[in-house]
Every structure is written in C-alpha cells, then in structure tokens.
Amino acid sequence: MRKISLLGLRPSLAIGFGLAFFPLVALAQDAVKVAPDVYKVAVDNADVRALDIRIKPGVKVAMHSHPASVLTAYGPCKIRFSSPDGKSHDVEFKAGDIVWNDAQTHASENVGTTECHALQVELKNAGGGAKKAM
C-alpha cells in the first residue's frame, strides 16, 4: 500500500500548513455537496462514508475537504490536486492502487485522458494513527 499526501507535503509540514491556512480549510465544503455529479455516497454509517468517485477527463472539482481516508483506484488516471494556497501537483494512479490519505482540503482536476474511477472510504471516528496491514 502506498502512502501519499495529496498535498505533496510530509505529515509534519502538512500539520503546519493546515494550521497556517486554518481559515481557508474551515471554509472548504463537503465533496458530495461541491460535486454531486462526481461523488456518490455508496455507504454512510457511524464509522465510515464510502464515496464512489467518477471524474471524467477535463472535469474540475472545486475546493473541498476529506477526513482521513483510504482510496482505491479502479483504473489508471491522472489527477491534479491544488491546495488552498494555490500550489498544485499531479498524481498518477494505476489500477488497484490503494492509498492512505490524511485529512485534507484540495481542489482536483482530471488532467489525464481516462475517467478516474475510485472508491474513497472516509473514516469518521479515527482515533490514533493508521497502521499498515501485516
């Protein structure tokens, strides 16, 4: 399992980044409310919310937030993630990639040629850090 910070920062820097830009982060909205055509709720209970994500090539998603989550890519795609300070970086997913993400705020854009189809499982009651599977 790969661990990627979609903001492109080390965890210690991401914490400082989050504190420095707290007002912007606080204003970010839920992904499903920002882009209901892209994010579909597949499961929602007391512990997790699973989102079926489909971003067609060229589609942009406005700034939004996710709690800590695990994302599984169903096929290859290339997404540009932009942080609240305007910095961006591209991430290429391969089919079957499983990625841990700390809580984050970003805008996204499919800059590839294929639809990005993924399942993102957001954790609601994450106490402590995530552990790598044995």
The per-residue pLDDT for range 70-116, each reduced to its tens digit, is: 999 999 999 999 999 999 999 999 999 999 999 999 999 999 999 99
DSSP string, 68-109: SEEEEESS-EEEEEE-TTS-EEEEEE-TT-EEEE-SEEEEEE
Q: What is the pLDDT of residue 105?
A: 96
Q: What is the pLDDT of residue 125?
A: 85
Please choose, from the candidates 123, 118, 88, the residue with its C-alpha nearest in 3D space to the C-alpha of residue 102.
Answer: 123
Q: What is the pLDDT of residue 127?
A: 58
> How would you classify residue 33: left for phi > 0, otherwise alpha for psi between -120 and 50, otherwise beta?
alpha
Strand partners, 69: 101, 122
- The answer, yes or no, to whether residue 18 has pLDDT greater than 90, is no
Q: What is the mean pLDDT of residues 49-57?
A: 98
List C-alpha distances in Å: 4 to 56, 98, 99: 22, 10, 6
- In single-letter form, the type of residue at position 131 comes to K
Helix, strand, coil abundance in the chain, percent, nearest 5: 15, 45, 40
- The answer, yes or no, to whether residue 3 has pLDDT greater than 50, is no
Tell me if residue 49 falls in helix, strand or coil: strand
Parse the chain into domains and list their residue ranges: 2-123
Q: Whole-model pTM?
A: 0.75
Provide the pLDDT confidence category of residue 67 given band limits of 50, 70 and 90.
Answer: very high
Q: Tell me the C-alpha distance between 7 and 81, whole Å.
A: 7
- The answer, yes or no, to whether residue 35 has pLDDT greater than 50, is yes
The structural architecture, per CATH, of the domain 2-123 is: Sandwich (2.60)
Q: Tell me the C-alpha distance between 116 and 54, whole Å.
A: 6
